[in-house]
């Protein structure tokens, strides 16, 4: 099932399906020619034993939970270390972290990189950015970061329950709706950014007024329902027999969605504080 998460957009089928090549065996020089219709002679003792232990390690839900939890832990530790820097030193790291995180995220997504170094490096960079931006928000609105963290994990847990109970089923039609909503949000954000250079506040989507609050709620909804697609993608990879290392790619995709969700909840809470 395709996901609206850009991290799951490319290479998923290639990563979770078996790759193999088939070829034709040709006789060497001086050998007897093959006779069409002649049955091939197979050695029954050369076939692999059905009781032999498989050397292939497939991805399990435990792998997804472990890798995702480790990625989140690295993000939290990096954010805490950035916040602990004296004064507002950490604020200067926000822009470089955004640039590095964007480049690294695009490389991981388009090249379907599934290894701990790439995923944990992205988690650390995102942690630096989140630590800097969270410190800035918390300085202006004390206690807002705690509320945003609780809200984020509350939404995450709630959507996991919704997915596991089947209250909302991930169908092709649902996936198409979510993809359309994601594109719509992206287009509105870009248009608002361009309009802000012409008219102060642009379309008002980020100005903190009623329109901004409504738009932020819509974005939070899209991010929350994107989690359902990510959960379904993890299940699909397990059903298809993806290799165990693919869990690092799943963890990366979930981290992208959760970071997006946290930032939007933080923004919404700041509107209410104002």
Please write the tens of the pLDDT for every residue from 189-220.
899 889 888 888 788 888 888 899 999 999 99
| Rounded Cα distance, 120 and 75, in Å | 8
For the cut 50, the answer to whether the pLDDT of residue 269 exceeds it is: yes
Residue 225: predicted pLDDT: 93
- DSSP character string of 180-208: HHHHHHHHHHHHHHHHHTTSTTTTSTTSS
Tell me the average pLDDT of the chain: 82
| Rounded Cα distance, 102 and 106, in Å | 6
| Rounded Cα distance, 225 and 219, in Å | 10
SS (H, E, C) 87-109: CCHHHHHHHHHHHHHHHHHHHHH
Sign of CA dihedral 104, 252, 262, 73: negative
Can you give the pTM of this predicted structure? 0.78
| Rounded Cα distance, 262 and 274, in Å | 19
For the cut 80, the answer to whether the pLDDT of residue 13 exceeds it is: no
For the cut 90, the answer to whether the pLDDT of residue 166 exceeds it is: no
Binned at pLDDT 50, 70 and 90, residue 17 comes out as low
> How crowded is the C-beta side of 234, counted as CA atoms within 13 Å?
24
Count of Cβ atoms closer than 10 Å to residue 21 Cβ = 4
Residue 201: predicted pLDDT: 79
């Amino acid at each position: 099932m395709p996901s609206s998460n850009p991290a799951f957009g490319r290479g998923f089928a290639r990563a979770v399906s078996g790759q193999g090549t088939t070829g034709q065996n040709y006789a060497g020089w001086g050998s007897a020619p093959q006779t069409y219709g002649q049955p091939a002679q197979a050695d029954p003792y050369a076939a692999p034993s059905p009781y032999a232990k498989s050397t292939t390690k497939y991805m399990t839900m435990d792998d997804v939970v472990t890798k995702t939890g480790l990625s989140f832990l690295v993000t939290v530790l990096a954010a805490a270390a950035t916040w602990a820097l004296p004064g507002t030193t950490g604020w200067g790291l926000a822009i470089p972290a955004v640039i590095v995180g964007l480049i690294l995220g695009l490389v991981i997504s388009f090249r379907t990189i599934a290894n701990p170094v790439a995923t944990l490096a992205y988690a650390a960079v995102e942690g630096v950015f989140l630590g800097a931006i969270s410190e800035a928000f918390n300085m202006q609105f004390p206690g807002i970061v705690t509320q945003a963290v609780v809200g984020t994990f509350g939404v995450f847990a709630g959507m996991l329950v919704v997915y596991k109970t089947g209250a909302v089923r991930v169908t092709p039609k649902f996936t198409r709706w979510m993809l359309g909503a994601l594109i719509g949000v992206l287009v509105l954000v870009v248009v608002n950014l361009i309009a802000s250079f012409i008219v102060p506040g642009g379309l008002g989507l980020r100005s903190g007024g009623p329109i901004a609050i409504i738009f932020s709620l819509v974005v939070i909804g899209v991010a929350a329902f994107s989690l359902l697609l990510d959960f379904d993608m993890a299940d699909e990879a397990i059903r298809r027999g993806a290799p165990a290392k693919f869990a690092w790619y799943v963890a990366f995709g979930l981290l992208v969605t959760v970071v997006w969700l946290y930032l939007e909840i933080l923004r919404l809470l700041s509107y209410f504080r104002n």
